[in-house]
Amino acid sequence: MLKQRVITALVLVAILLPALFATMAWPFALLSLIAIAAGGWEWGRLNGAGGASLAIGAIVAIICGVALWAGWSEAPPRLVWWIAFGVWVLGGAFVLRGGPKAWPALPMGLRLALGVVLLCTAWLALATAKTIGVNFILSVFCLVWAADIAAYFGGKAFGKRKLAPGISPGKSWEGVWSGMLGALALAAFWLWLDSAFKMDSLSLYLRLYGRFGIVGLVGVVVFLVAMSVVGDLFESLVKRAAGAKDSSGLLPGHGGVLDRVDALLPVFPIAMALITV
């Protein structure tokens, strides 16, 4: 399993890095569009769409493709970010409170439509972040990754109080606090990078610091980490409701696309909303 995970990770990195560092925005936009469309297919399967799951993936791809053609990745409507913000904050709280048993009780059409909205707004946020610059998009990616790594080790070392045992038994409150501290340490380090080196764009942290000051920066980083946890728990809830361990087997050793991007789905559009304040 470990060998399989490493090989898959190396292949993904080999595909991702050239698109991420390309001077043009469209290679990354196209690559992320394909990944998000695959996530749409997985979402359909997890929510009982059966043979129509391919159609869900196709709908996600078409909507994102139209948005790319319309130039939204360079000049997106700000309302999109705030719609995603509201859906994730309010809808996330509602869904997690209900738990895995309540999720299948929602109408299938509503569940499928919600997935399409969340996936499409996440893709648009990714594509827009790449248009802003590599330093910016990496600063958002690394916030989620740093929080995830710190939460893993903090949970292993100190975890006692379960966060959501009915959804994801392995997560603890101590892991969440560790993830927040890890993300704050990363933010401090990145602010130093921004001042010490000439970057192609302002990082998320410098933009937040300029808008909200140090106290606001700390608050927003903590909030974004909390929303990454919501994204992770939301996907775990949907999988548990469907009786599935992974969203699919598309990524050998890693599960599916949704398993790898669940924490990113709320963070990118919410970050885009906050930097427009």
Reference 221, options 199, 202, 204; nearest CA is: 204
Note the pLDDT of residue 95: 94
How many Cβ atoms are within 10 Å of 97's Cβ, its own excluded? 8
Residue 210: the pLDDT is 95
Q: How far, in whole angstroms, is CA 79 from its chain's centroid?
A: 19
Whole-number pLDDT of residue 41: 97
For residue 199, count other CB atoms closer than 10 A to its CB.
18
> Strand, helix or coil at 23?
coil
Sketch the domain layout of the chain as residue ranges.
2-274
Q: Which amino acid is at 257?
A: V
Task: Output the pLDDT for position 188.
Answer: 97
Low-confidence ranges of the chain (pLDDT < 70): 1-2
Asked if 257 contacts 40 with a C-beta cutoff of 8 angstroms, the reply is no
Element (H, E) at 172: strand 168-172
Q: What is the pLDDT of residue 1?
A: 60
CA distance 123 to 176: 26
pLDDT in the model for residue 144: 97
Can you read off the two tokens belonging to residue 263?
A: 């924490």
pLDDT, residue 4, reads: 82
pLDDT in the model for residue 234:
97
pLDDT at 27: 94
Write out pLDDT tens, residues 133-168.
Answer: 999 999 999 999 999 999 999 999 999 999 999 999
Read off the tokens for 270: 């919410």
Crossing angle of helices 173-196 and 204-242, rounded to 10°: 150
pLDDT value for 5: 78
Strands (DSSP E) found in 180-244: none
The whole-angstrom separation of Cα 192 and Cα 201 is 14
Predicted structure pTM score: 0.95
Compute, in degrees rounded to 10, the torsion defined by CA atoms 12, 16, 18, 20.
Answer: -170
pLDDT value at residue 44: 97
